[in-house]
Amino acid sequence: NAAIELRRAADAGDDPEEVPVVLSHEENKPLVALAFKLEDGKFGQLTYMRVYQGKLKKGEFMYNSRTGQKVKAPRLVQMHAQEMTDVDMITAGDIGATFGLECASGDTFVSVKPGNTRVSLESTFVPDPVISLAVRPLKKEQFSGNFAKALSRFQREDPTFRLHSDPDSKETIISGMGELHLEVYVERIKREYGVECEVGQPRVSYRESISTRAEFEYLHKKQSGGSGQFGGITGYIEPHSGADALSNVFVNNVIGNVIPPQFFAAIEKGFLAAAAEGPISGHPIQGVRFVVVDGRSHAVDSNEIAFRTAAIQAFRLAYPSAAPRVLEPIMTVVATVPIEFQGAVTGALARRRGVITGSEAVLGGGSAEIEAEVPLAEMFGYATELRSLTQGKGEFGMEFLERRPVPGNVQKELAEKYAQNKLEGGAAA
């Protein structure tokens, strides 16, 4: 049996050094045990453990090597099918179970408190998920209750079940090894926790940008009896290039004090607020330089609100004249398939608006590796299609490459859908 000793690096920012350690089956050695399965039972969470070195006694304290937390094994049992037998101790080579441990599948438990060095058993290989679904409870009030408890529990039990929240769409995304895998968990949420869920494809994180320069000049003036609002700005927007081309940049090219210096922060905030939601698809705008070259102010009525509002309206007026476009994420897809299915798989990728960038035989023969650049929006359901095309023998992986403009018909569809959603939202309000 082998484990890894993680030694803290000299520099805090560096990764710890990994040193292989040979374990012994002797009982007098320090405890090293692996939690390899979690299960919810009538007495709470049941943690299955295998002891690789030393021994674990009932009521004994131990440390979670990953978190450093000190925990107690209040009860030890050995399982025989559905029956459990209480035991006082499990030794090296034994498989047992205990209750009440807060841990995740694959955690290592040791008897020596982790310090500058900690021992960790090598966890089993966990492949990357191949399919994702957006899931939410039908009743919003259940989101922070049983729904969250179920997802947290499933994530601890199953290393191949992944969970994250999309920062753009605010959706809860679950990922796993196949459609059936995720369908089982959705059914368990309903059966075990009483939460009906709505399941759908994750929303694609589109972006908007501009293609050319457009001028703007806007004066915000409002008078309502007391002190009013007065702020005017003149300038232009243009595509931003360079190392940080994906960000939005505010540039102050005003000469003199036609705009008091304290209001430039408000102008920048207004610009960034306007860029947070594009008028075509509702997605954030990126890659824009907002340049102010002139402006107007009033000694009494000018304030931050006036200049912030002026920046928002100026951007919205100039944006349609700057040839706006919607950008979609493009993924690099690598599919490994038996050679006899190469033509079918290549054709399927092309139908998904994919561009084949390479194809070669895998060393050893019998398989081919196909590389393509495919829009993420076209990749939903591809895992199922690939298995169908290759009799279950094909596999693929993908990673983000860049964002590119969508075809005109797709941009039109996105614009119509966004306009419809705004109309329905306004009607509901």
Q: Is the pLDDT of residue 238 over 80?
A: yes
Q: Is the pLDDT of residue 316 over 50?
A: yes
Rounded Cα gap, residues 138 and 132, in angstroms:
19
Average pLDDT over residues 18-23: 78
HSE-CB at 340 with a 13 A cutoff on CA atoms is 3
Residue 282 has pLDDT above 80, yes or no: yes
- The reported pLDDT for the residue numbered 11 is 45
Q: Over the stretch 36-95, which tens digit does the pLDDT of each residue have? A: 888 876 677 788 899 988 899 998 999 988 888 888 888 899 888 778 899 999 998 899
- pLDDT tops 50 at residue 12: no
pLDDT tens column, 193-208: 888 888 887 778 889 9
**Residue 8 confidence (pLDDT) above 60:** no
> Which pLDDT belongs to residue 269?
94
With 50 as the cut, is the pLDDT of residue 311 above it? yes
Statement: residue 10 has pLDDT above 70: no
Q: Which structure tokens are listed for 381?
A: 């359901």
Tokens 């596999």 sit on residue: 395
Average predicted confidence (pLDDT) for the chain: 85
Residue 278 confidence class, pLDDT cut points 50, 70, 90: very high
Q: How far apart are CA 305 and CA 276, in angstroms?
A: 18
209 band by pLDDT with thresholds 50, 70 and 90 = very high
**pLDDT at 218 (0 to 100):** 94
What letter represents residue 351's amino acid?
A: R
Predicted confidence (pLDDT) at residue 225 exceeds the cutoff of 60: yes
Mean pLDDT along residues 372-397: 88
Average pLDDT over residues 260-272: 94
pTM above 0.85, yes or no: no
Average pLDDT value for residue range 288-302: 92
Percent of the chain at pLDDT above 70?
89
